[in-house]
Amino acid sequence: MKKTIFLFAILGVLVIIACSNIKADEATKISTSEKTIEEKTSPAKTLSEDFKKYWYAGNAEISSYRLEQARYGEIRKGTAVLIYVTEDFLPKEQVKADGLNTSNVPVLKLNATKKFNTGIYPYSIMQSTFYPVADNQHAIKISSSMQEWCGHVYAQLNNRKQFEIMSHSYFQGEADQEFTLDKVVLENELWTKIRINPEGLPQGDIKIIPSFEYCRLRHKEIKAYTAKASLEKQHNINTYTIEYPELKRTISITFNSSFPYEIESWTEAFTSGFGPNAKELTTKATKIKSMKSAYWGKNSNKDEVLREELGL
């Protein structure tokens, strides 16, 4: 009897040891997996003195554009604004950091807005991109919202082990979604990459997730599509073009070839409208004016004159 109890005790110890080893192996696998993900980031880009002087002077860059927006088979007049500013970002929570910390990730943030009318009712669109100034990984976060009198839609991407995406819409079939995608180039992030390292823009046949704005306006699935990207250099101006054969869409961004690589204009050709009213049209945006400003402190009535300077 004693021998039997002794044998069971030894067996129990062996089971505990085996389970501990399994857990240790699993922990090692998880740790190795996470380490592998971390190591996939490229070496951080060395920031030039020009970059530091321009982007770390305590101001944002605000550029206004005259907009001709294709919507419902017609061209609508409006305005667009690109607001670029650097800030510290929390990598885990993926929001702006309130204070300095060595774990913060410096990002170049772009808030891109559009305002135009479709007949009696207005459209307001905003896309936010948070891209590491180190230029060594994909955007950490992207969000997009769109409001018009029929309702509003919202989408957000968080860059973790995969791209985690959540989307909300008032349209049937697009209501409340949560899904993941493998990491590929994001069209939204290219607008910030241009400002940091245009020579590193992806070229050739690649997979790209189109801008959230386009996907929502055209009711296209948010996913990677086959595209062809090219960079054309002419004197002091460069043009970066992305063609999506499946979507029958082409977007071209024109920017200065020297630092700080200001975006001068862009065009976007695609099918606008639905049913018999659908036709190929081209959205155009042309710069009105740029200024450097700590706009977050310009919130009194007397500061409205700055909007007039921007042509807004």
**pLDDT value of position 35:** 34
User: Cα–Cα–Cα angle for 84, 150, 126, nearest 5°?
Assistant: 5
Inter-residue contact 152 to 168 (CB < 8 Å): no
Q: What are the tens digits of pLDDT across the range 159-193? A: 999 999 999 988 887 789 999 999 999 999 999 99
Q: What are the tens digits of pLDDT across the range 219-245? A: 999 999 999 999 999 889 999 999 999
Inter-residue contact 177 to 191 (CB < 8 Å): no
Q: What are the tens digits of pLDDT across the range 121-145? A: 999 999 999 999 999 999 999 999 9
- Residue spans of the domains in the chain: they are 42-309
pTM here?
Answer: 0.84
State how far Cα 119 lies from the chain centre: 30
**176-178-179-181 Cα dihedral, nearest 10 degrees:** 90
Q: Check pLDDT > 70 for residue 45.
A: yes
Give bridge partners of residue 87 from the DSSP assignment: 107
